[in-house]
């Protein structure tokens, strides 16, 4: 037997436990060991999305139209993937600008407009009232039903008892006090509530456990699994129809799609979701895990909705029990009092979680964006000392919380009866969806203006009120039903539920279509037609480009201020201690010894304003700061210039970077050229010393033998002729050397004369081999020549080509062993060129020497001991010559395996030959 | 080419969510589009029939299975392909 006091005691014990969690989390936060700094708590706290609507209402919805409850959860699942872009940007902006609520966000984006902030607040408060009334209705209904245990009696109609005897009234008062105690214990500068988030995450767990417990009990305790429930249900035609809720017409999907879109917007723009997801976010990285964890949470809490709904329909035949209460009444019908109590606590969790976060978020808005701006402007509040001001702020919030819950209660009284839970909630969803164009447009469209936002929000809100809010009142009997059935003043086109004759849609879809059309249309049109003010322009840029900004932008302020007056101002709102702390921190970060030495420059003013914005909202902070500093207003063109400058600075930076790189490249090139020049200079010196050295060797021997001849006239004839022979040979060598040096010099300087003619390469090779045949015979080296049968025409200087061939042939014979040496000359044709190979089986050339041999005076081998015959210029000259003909000369060889010298020449084409 | 790369890196917004952010973003958009298709006409109409699967109406089974699959994909996109 559940007595009233047991239920009340359990409720208070549960709520006391919540307080304990919040207290513990706050203490941990103060110690710097945050309890909520994990993505799991973040994802769980997002579960505040699941309210009494989810806990009780989904089953009610499922009992009337099958899967109709699902878009509310599938929409957010889809949105989570875009969250990763949109919400991340919002978090970044809010952290930088210390934004404290959705209203503040919108106001800040559109030039810190107090008017816009106020409008957003009004829309949010009015729009959320139905949602709060839904929670009141759910708690009071479940309480009254549980009170009758074990009888299952539906509660009396709303308004049947006086307010004094109405449970819902006391629940509203209790929730208000609870939230006040919870959320406004102190004026939190950052508007972050760690304790609250921890408690909300815990509540998410409780409601999930409670719902899954009921689901398991119904599915497996009362029935034999889901197959049994659905099997029994499908056997009854009126229930079987729920399995195919879309019917045959495609039009039935429209409301499904619109509900999905609506809940996609709600998950971002509900004030409590914004509070939890953006303001209370500890670390941007938590978004990652939340992207899949939060949908998983919604999946789990919805898994048993259909079994419970069908189980309830099967169990309570006859329709005496409201489907919205199945979650509670099913365990009650089985005399499961503890399970029923757990369900009640779960429902309480769902409802209180929503009410706490929603009213705290709304009270911040009301305080910062509705009450404070006029209060600071028109009263002497701004001159109050910190204590008084701080208390004033807290009192405003407390009053706002109480007022919101009372308004919620009155909405429940006026319009709570006619609608099911889900339908009440959808009215609120449609209201907050009105924020979407303004906020998303503001995030991505730079030219969205304040006027556009005002127009869009106002029109959307008006249409929403006319098509959703007003009919709810009318249907509850507060105005003549004729207003709906015939339209105002009998004008058919203006019927609130069939505006402009649009029929065949459910109420929410109808309202969404018209309000979104008006909202987006007015927002875009007015934005295009109006101009941004200077401050709007600044804020638009800051918001749209937030992800690509690195540092803070502070160039947008000009005027004179004093650091002391700014600190005093901050002190009034944040407390003198906190203000001194902030200023000292700022001074240290900027290299000043203390706050007294600070220059009141644009950055300091910006810093002070941002800190203030965290406490009283962006527009009030703007107003406050401008009251203590003497500022010159910036004109739009100046702002544009600054913004342009900033973007130009980026462009300039890139240009500079490119120039620098170009310069670097040029420097490297120059350095290389310089090195090359020095190398050439060294080579020239080497060349000259080598040449003189090479010249001296024959000269020395000529001189020595001449002296012998000169000094010894008595030498016998044989001896004399031998010496003369040496003289002749050495002079020849000298001549050859001088000729080659001259030749090379000519070739290198390009002064050589070339008589290019078309000639047959085979002829040259034949001539050359004939010339050297004596040499080959003398050293007994075989010479083999492989030539193609047809002529190979090239353009070249005959003598020069001959010189190359002779050089290669005489080289090859020089390095072959006498006796069994073999040299093969071959000619291979390649596309466009011809290759001549001179292959020997001589001593070969080591890999590392293969390029050296083409350099001047470079001869392979130890030059002291085994100086090979020759001048060391031959190959260098050959390479020059072949290069001149447009060919290439190279060698392929291995030590003691012979060498193949090859050169290629471009073939003279037939056409060219005829010319 | 080297220069161009350097400048690109510099102007890229700071990367708070780890490397290859762009890829993850694209994956999420893909899953989003998949979700839009799965939970929409005409795919829903295909399952809007009276048959049952293991005793559960196919529409119910389909919606929850597709939902679970979508969450699995999101999990993979976020946690696996780092």
Listing DSSP states for chain B in one string gives -HHHHHHHHHHSPP-TT-S-HHHHHHHHHHHHHHHHHHTSTTHHHHH-SS-EETTEEHHHHHHHHHHHHHHHHHHIIIII--
Give yes or no for residue A423 having a pLDDT over 70. Answer: yes
Collapsed DSSP state (helix, strand, coil) of residue A516: helix
Nearest to A246 among B16, B48, B68 (CB): B48
Can you tell me the distance from the alpha carbon of A89 to that of A142, in angstroms, rounded to the nearest whole number? 40
DSSP symbol at A900? E
Contact A77 B78 (CB under 8 A): no
Per CB-CB distance under 8 Å, the chain A contacts of B45 are 246, 250, 253
Percent helix, strand, coil in chain A, to 5, is 70, 5, 20
pLDDT, tens digit, for every residue of A204-239? Answer: 999 999 999 999 999 998 888 888 888 888 888 888
**DSSP code per residue over A177-209:** HHHHHHH-SS--TT---HHHHHHHHHHHHHHHH
What b/e string do you get for A751-770 counting C-beta neighbours within 10 Å, with b at 16 or more?
A: ebeeeeeebebbebbeebbe
Q: Which long-range contacts (CB under 8 A, 24 or more apart) does A565-568 make?
A: A565/A628, A565/A629, A566/A600, A566/A604, A566/A605, A566/A608, A566/A625, A566/A628, A566/A629, A567/A595, A567/A608, A568/A628
pLDDT value, residue A208: 93
Q: Which long-range contacts (CB under 8 A, 24 or more apart) does A92-98 make?
A: A92/A284, A92/A546, A92/A547, A93/A443, A93/A542, A93/A543, A93/A546, A94/A278, A94/A279, A96/A542, A96/A546, A96/A552, A96/A610, A97/A542, A97/A610, A97/A613, A97/A618, A98/A190, A98/A610, A98/A611, A98/A613, A98/A614
Bigger pLDDT: A459 or A550? A459
Instruction: Pick the residue from chain B with its C-alpha nearest to A237.
Output: B50
CA of B73 vs chain A CAs: smallest distance (Å): 9
Spatial CA neighbour of A207 closest among A40, A14, A437: A14
Nearest to A292 among B2, B35, B71 (CB): B71
Peptide bond into A591 cis (omega under 30): no
Instruction: Pick the residue from chain A with its C-alpha nearest to B35.
Output: A78
Q: Tell me the two tokens of residue A731.
A: 């002079």
| Burial status of residue A380 (CB atoms within 10 A of its CB: 0-12, 13-18, 19 or more) | exposed
Largest separation between any pair of C-alpha atoms in chain B: 65
- List, as ranges, residues 297-326 from A with C-beta within 8 Å of B: 299, 303, 306
Can you tell me the distance from the alpha carbon of B35 to that of B33, in angstroms, rounded to the nearest whole number? 5
pLDDT value, residue A862: 46
pLDDT value, residue A631: 67
Can you tell me the distance from the alpha carbon of A641 to that of A638, in angstroms, rounded to the nearest whole number? 5
Mean pLDDT of A169-198: 78
Per CB-CB distance under 8 Å, the chain B contacts of A306 are 60
pLDDT, tens digit, for every residue of A544-571? Answer: 877 766 545 555 666 677 777 788 887 8
CA of A173 vs chain B CAs: smallest distance (Å): 39
Residue carrying the six token digits 């003369």: A724
Q: How far, in whole angstroms, is CA A356 from its chain's centroid? A: 33
Nearest to B45 among A71, A88, A246 (CB): A246
**DSSP code per residue over A126-165:** HHHHHHHHHHHHHHHHHHHHHHTTTS--PPPPTTSS-GGG
Mean pLDDT of B30-34: 90
Query: Is any Cβ of chain B less than 8 angstroms from the Cβ of A829?
Result: no
Does an H or E element contain A901, and which? strand A899-906
CA of B12 vs chain A CAs: smallest distance (Å): 7
pLDDT value, residue A469: 84
- Residues with Cβ within 8 Å of residue A152, at least 6 apart in sequence: A145, A321, A329, A332, A333
Query: Is any Cβ of chain B less than 8 angstroms from the Cβ of A649?
Result: no
pLDDT, tens digit, for every residue of B44-65? Answer: 888 887 777 788 888 888 999 9
Contact A291 B25 (CB under 8 A): no
Contact A81 B56 (CB under 8 A): no
Helix axes A71-97, B21-38, angle to 10 degrees: 150
pLDDT, tens digit, for every residue of A486-520? Answer: 777 777 777 777 777 777 778 888 888 899 999 99
Nearest to A657 among B7, B24, B50 (CB): B7
pLDDT value, residue B70: 92
Per CB-CB distance under 8 Å, the chain A contacts of B21 are none
Nearest to B70 among A71, A77, A243 (CB): A77
Query: Is any Cβ of chain B less than 8 angstroms from the Cβ of A906?
Result: no
- Rounded to the nearest integer, the mean pLDDT of chain A is 82
Can you tell me the distance from the alpha carbon of A472 to that of A450, in angstroms, rounded to the nearest whole number? 31
Residue carrying the six token digits 């929403």: A464
Contact A260 B39 (CB under 8 A): yes
- Please state, for a pLDDT cut of 90, what percent of chain A lies above it: 14
pLDDT value, residue A708: 86
Can you tell me the distance from the alpha carbon of A560 to that of A168, in angstroms, rounded to the nearest whole number? 56
pLDDT value, residue A869: 59
- Residues with Cβ within 8 Å of residue A376, at least 6 apart in sequence: A382, A616, A620, A623, A624
Can you tell me the distance from the alpha carbon of A597 to that of A376, in angstroms, rounded to the nearest whole number? 30
Residue carrying the six token digits 């992800």: A547
- Residues with Cβ within 8 Å of residue A115, at least 6 apart in sequence: A454
What b/e string do you get for A89-128 counting C-beta neighbours within 10 Å, with b at 16 or more?
A: bbbbbbeebbbbbbbbbbbbbbbbbbebbbbbbbbbbbbb
Contact B31 A289 (CB under 8 A): no
Can you tell me the distance from the alpha carbon of A328 to that of A222, in angstroms, rounded to the nearest whole number? 14
Bigger pLDDT: A416 or A762? A762
Give yes or no for residue A576 having a pLDDT over 70. Answer: yes
Mean pLDDT of A679-699: 81
Mean pLDDT of A27-46: 85
- Residues with Cβ within 8 Å of residue A642, at least 6 apart in sequence: A555, A556, A634
Collapsed DSSP state (helix, strand, coil) of residue A758: strand
Nearest to B71 among A67, A285, A295 (CB): A295
Total residues belonging to chain A: 915
The number of CA neighbours under 13 Å toward the Cβ of B80 is 9
Mean pLDDT of A39-55: 89
Q: Which residues pair with A893 in a beta bridge?
A: A899
CB atoms within 10 A of CB A181: 13
Radius of gyration of chain B (CA): 20
Total residues belonging to chain B: 82
Query: Is any Cβ of chain B less than 8 angstroms from the Cβ of A559?
Result: no
Nearest to A78 among B36, B42, B68 (CB): B36
Residue carrying the six token digits 């919870």: A182
pLDDT value, residue B81: 62
Can you tell me the distance from the alpha carbon of A593 to that of A453, in angstroms, rounded to the nearest whole number? 45
pLDDT, tens digit, for every residue of A704-713? Answer: 888 888 888 8
> Is the separation of the CB atoms in A844 and A859 below 8 Å?
no
Which of A59, A65, A71, A84 to mutate: most B Cβ within 10 Å? A84
Q: Which residues pair with A795 in a beta bridge?
A: A758
- The CA-based angle B18-B21-B27, given to 5 degrees, is 130
Which of B4, B23, B45 to mutate: most A Cβ within 10 Å? B45
Instruction: Pick the residue from chain B with its C-alpha nearest to A304.
Output: B64
CA of A356 vs chain B CAs: smallest distance (Å): 29
pLDDT, tens digit, for every residue of A829-854? Answer: 888 888 888 888 888 888 877 777 77
Contact A227 B55 (CB under 8 A): yes
* Local confidence band at A160 (pLDDT 50, 70, 90 cut-offs): low
Contact B2 A661 (CB under 8 A): yes
pLDDT value, residue A732: 86
Find the distance separating the first CA and the last CA of chain B, reported in whole Å.
28
Global pTM reads 0.68
Nearest to B29 among A81, A225, A289 (CB): A81
Nearest to A230 among B57, B74, B75 (CB): B57
Query: Is any Cβ of chain B less than 8 angstroms from the Cβ of A550?
Result: yes
Contact B64 A288 (CB under 8 A): no
Q: Which long-range contacts (CB under 8 A, 24 or more apart) does A30-36 make?
A: A34/A194, A34/A282, A35/A194, A35/A198, A36/A194, A36/A197, A36/A198, A36/A201, A36/A280, A36/A282
* Local confidence band at A433 (pLDDT 50, 70, 90 cut-offs): very high
Mean pLDDT of A868-882: 77
pLDDT value, residue A671: 92
Q: Tell me the two tokens of residue A547.
A: 């992800």
Does an H or E element contain A651, and which? helix A636-711
ipTM above 0.85, yes or no: no
Bigger pLDDT: A859 or A717? A717
Can you tell me the distance from the alpha carbon of A698 to that of A733, in angstroms, rounded to the nearest whole number? 7
Q: How far, in whole angstroms, is CA A6 from its chain's centroid? A: 53
């Amino acid at each position: 037997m559940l007595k009233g006091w047991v239920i009340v005691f359990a409720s208070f014990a549960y709520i006391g436990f919540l307080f304990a969690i919040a207290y513990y989390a706050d203490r941990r936060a103060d110690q710097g060991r945050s309890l909520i700094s994990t993505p799991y708590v973040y994802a769980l706290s997002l579960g505040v999305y699941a309210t009494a609507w989810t806990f009780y209402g989904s089953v009610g919805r499922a009992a009337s139209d099958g899967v109709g409850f699902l878009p509310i959860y599938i929409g957010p699942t889809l949105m989570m993937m875009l969250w990763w872009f949109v919400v991340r940007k919002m978090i970044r902006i809010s952290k930088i600008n210390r934004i404290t609520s959705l209203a503040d966000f919108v106001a800040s984006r559109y030039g810190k407009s107090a008017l816009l902030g106020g409008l957003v607040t009004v829309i949010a408060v009015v729009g959320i009232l139905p949602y709060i009334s839904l929670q009141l209705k759910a708690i009071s209904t479940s309480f009254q039903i549980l009170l009758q245990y074990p009888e299952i009696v539906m509660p009396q109609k709303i308004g049947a008892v006086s307010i004094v005897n109405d449970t819902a009234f006391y629940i509203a008062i209790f929730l208000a006090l609870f939230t006040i105690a919870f959320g406004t214990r102190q004026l939190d500068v950052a508007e972050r509530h760690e304790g609250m988030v921890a408690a909300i995450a815990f509540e998410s767990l409780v409601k999930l456990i409670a719902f899954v417990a009921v689901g398991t009990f119904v599915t497996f305790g009362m029935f034999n699994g889901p197959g049994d429930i659905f099997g029994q249900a499908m056997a009854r035609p009126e229930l079987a129809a729920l399995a195919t809720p879309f019917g045959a017409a495609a039009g039935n999907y429209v409301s499904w799609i619109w509900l999905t879109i609506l809940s996609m917007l709600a998950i971002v723009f509900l004030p409590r979701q914004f509070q939890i997801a953006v303001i209370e976010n500890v670390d941007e990285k938590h978004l990652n895990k939340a992207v899949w964890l939060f949908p998983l949470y919604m999946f789990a809490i919805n898994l048993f909705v259909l079994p419970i709904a069908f189980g309830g329909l099967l169990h309570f035949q006859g329709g005496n029990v409201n489907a919205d209460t199945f979650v509670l009444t099913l365990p009650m019908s089985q005399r499961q009092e503890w399970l029923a109590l757990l369900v009640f606590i779960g429902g309480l969790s769902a409802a209180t979680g929503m009410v706490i976060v929603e009213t705290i978020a709304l009270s911040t808005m009301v305080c910062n964006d509705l009450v404070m701006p006029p209060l600071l402007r028109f009263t002497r509040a701004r001159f109050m000392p910190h204590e008084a001001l701080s208390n004033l702020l807290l009192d405003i919030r407390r009053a706002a919380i109480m007022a919101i819950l009372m308004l919620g209660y009155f909405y429940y009284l006026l319009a709570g009866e006619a609608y099911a839970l889900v339908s009440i909630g959808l009215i609120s969803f449609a209201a907050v969806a009105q924020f979407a164009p303004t906020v998303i447009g503001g995030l991505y469209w730079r030219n969205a203006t304040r006027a556009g936002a005002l127009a869009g929000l106002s029109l959307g809100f008006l249409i929403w009120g006319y098509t959703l809010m007003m009919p709810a009142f009318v249907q509850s009997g507060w105005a003549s039903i004729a207003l709906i059935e015939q339209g105002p003043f009998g004008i058919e086109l203006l019927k609130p539920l069939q505006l402009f004759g649009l029929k065949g849609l459910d109420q929410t879809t109808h309202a969404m279509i018209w309000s979104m059309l008006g909202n987006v249309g007015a927002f875009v049109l007015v934005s295009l037609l109006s101009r941004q003010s200077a401050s709007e322009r600044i804020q638009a840029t800051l918001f749209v480009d937030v992800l690509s900004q690195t540092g803070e932008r502070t160039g947008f302020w000009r005027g004179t201020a004093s650091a002391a007056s700014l600190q005093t101002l901050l002190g009034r709102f944040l407390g003198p201690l906190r203000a001194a702390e902030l200023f000292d921190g700022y001074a240290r970060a900027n290299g000043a010894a203390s706050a007294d030495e600070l220059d009141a420059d644009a950055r300091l003013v910006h810093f002070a304003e941002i800190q203030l914005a965290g406490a009283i909202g962006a527009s009030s902070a703007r107003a406050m700061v401008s009251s203590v500093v003497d500022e010159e207003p910036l004109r739009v063109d100046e702002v544009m210039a600054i913004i342009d400058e900033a973007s130009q600075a980026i462009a300039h930076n890139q240009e500079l970077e490119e120039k620098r790189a170009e310069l670097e490249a040029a420097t490297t090139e120059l350095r290389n050229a310089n090195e090359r020049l020095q190398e050439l200079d060294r080579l020239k010196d080497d060349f000259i010393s080598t040449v003189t050295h090479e010249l001296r060797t024959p000269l020395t021997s000529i001189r020595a033998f001449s002296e012998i001849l000169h000094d010894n006239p008595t030498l016998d004839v044989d001896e004399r002729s031998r010496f003369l022979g040496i003289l002749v040979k050495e002079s020849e060598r000298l001549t050859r050397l001088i000729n080659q040096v001259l030749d090379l010099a000519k070739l290198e300087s390009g002064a050589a004369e070339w008589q290019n003619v078309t000639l047959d390469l085979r002829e040259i090779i034949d001539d050359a081999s004939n010339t050297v045949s004596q040499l080959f015979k003398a050293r007994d080296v075989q010479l083999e020549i492989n030539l193609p049968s047809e002529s190979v025409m090239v353009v070249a200087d005959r003598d020069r080509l001959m010189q190359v061939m002779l050089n290669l042939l005489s080289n090859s014979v020089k390095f072959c062993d006498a006796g069994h040496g073999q040299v093969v000359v071959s000619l291979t044709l390649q596309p466009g060129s011809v290759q001549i190979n001179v292959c020997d089986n001589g001593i070969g050339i080591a890999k590392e020497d293969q390029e050296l041999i083409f350099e001047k005076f470079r001869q392979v081998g130890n030059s002291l001991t085994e100086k090979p015959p020759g001048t060391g210029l031959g190959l260098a000259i050959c390479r020059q010559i072949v290069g001149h003909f447009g060919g290439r000369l190279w060698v392929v060889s291995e030590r003691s395996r012979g060498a193949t010298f090859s050169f290629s020449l471009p073939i003279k084409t037939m056409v060219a030959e005829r010319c | 080419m080297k220069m161009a790369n350097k400048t690109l890196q510099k102007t890229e917004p700071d990367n708070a969510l780890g490397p290859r952010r762009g890829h993850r973003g694209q994956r999420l958009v893909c899953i989003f589009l998949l979700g839009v298709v799965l939970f929409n006409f005409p795919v829903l109409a295909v399952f809007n029939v009276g048959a049952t699967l293991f005793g559960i109406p196919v529409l119910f089974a389909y919606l929850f299975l597709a939902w679970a699959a979508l969450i699995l994909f999101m999990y993979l996109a976020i946690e696996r392909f780092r």
